[in-house]
């Protein structure tokens, strides 16, 4: 499969991010045009995000995971950098807070519950959030009733 060969090539110490990659798909005319390279990088990024062990989540809510072994060789960083430098599309799947941190160095937006990749944690937090909303609604109803009773009592006096 192309991805295994690609991982091997990127793992070589002699690999140069700036050297233009030649892409020829088997069964396609041997034309290494920009379209072939962009398609290659699109497929590569998809594989990197699904197989590297460094990311979790689903489109537009992908967050990095702490994986010391995967980070040690910086292979994924080289792949993404090569993609961007050589005209591939930048990965647009990151959660807004992650993208803000990459671009600005700090988080400009709020982290939403959908950005939490662990389903159990996400589900528990949604339940807590739901119960907090219910408590606030109940509190506002109680306050409304109290105000109504107070206004009625003051009307009687």
Give the chain's length: 157
For residue 48, the model assigns a pLDDT of 83
Q: Are residues 9 and 52 in the same domain?
A: yes
Q: Are residues 108 and 123 in the same domain?
A: no
Q: Are residues 62 and 30 in the same domain?
A: yes
- Burial-class residue 61 by CB neighbours within 10 Å (0-12, 13-18, 19+): buried
Q: Are residues 79 and 123 in the same domain?
A: no
- Angle between helix 75-85 and helix 34-51 axes, rounded to 10 deg: 150
Q: Are residues 38 and 104 in the same domain?
A: yes
Q: Are 64 and 70 in contact (CB under 8 A)?
A: no
Q: Are residues 24 and 100 in the same domain?
A: yes
Q: Are residues 125 and 110 in the same domain?
A: no
Q: Are 76 and 52 in contact (CB under 8 A)?
A: yes
For residue 70, the model assigns a pLDDT of 65
Question: Which residue range forms the structural domain that includes residue 130?
Answer: 118-156
Q: Domain count of the chain?
A: 2
Mean pLDDT by 10 residues, the chain (157 residues): 81 84 76 77 84 77 74 76 81 76 72 77 80 77 75 66
Taking the model in full, what pTM does it have? Answer: 0.59
Q: Are residues 70 and 127 in the same domain?
A: no
pLDDT 10s digits, 132-143: 777 777 778 777
| E strand map for 54-113 | 55-56, 63-64
Q: Are residues 78 and 12 in the same domain?
A: yes
Paired with 55 in beta bridges are 64
Q: Are residues 20 and 51 in the same domain?
A: yes
């Amino acid at each position: 499969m192309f991805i295994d060969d690609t991982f091997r090539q990127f793992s070589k110490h002699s690999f140069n991010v700036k050297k233009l990659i030649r892409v020829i798909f088997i069964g396609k005319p041997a034309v290494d045009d920009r379209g072939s390279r962009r398609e290659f990088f699109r497929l590569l990024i998809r594989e990197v995000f699904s197989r590297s062990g460094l990311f979790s989540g689903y489109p537009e809510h992908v967050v990095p995971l702490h994986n010391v072994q995967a980070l040690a060789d910086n292979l994924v960083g080289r792949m993404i950098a090569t993609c961007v430098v050589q005209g591939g599309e930048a990965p647009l799947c990151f959660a807004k807070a992650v993208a803000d941190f990459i671009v600005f160095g700090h988080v400009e937006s709020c982290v939403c519950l959908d950005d939490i990749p662990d389903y159990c944690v996400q589900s528990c937090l949604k339940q807590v959030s739901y119960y907090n909303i219910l408590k606030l609604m109940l509190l506002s109803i109680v306050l409304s009733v109290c105000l109504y009773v107070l206004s009625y009592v003051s009307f009687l006096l």
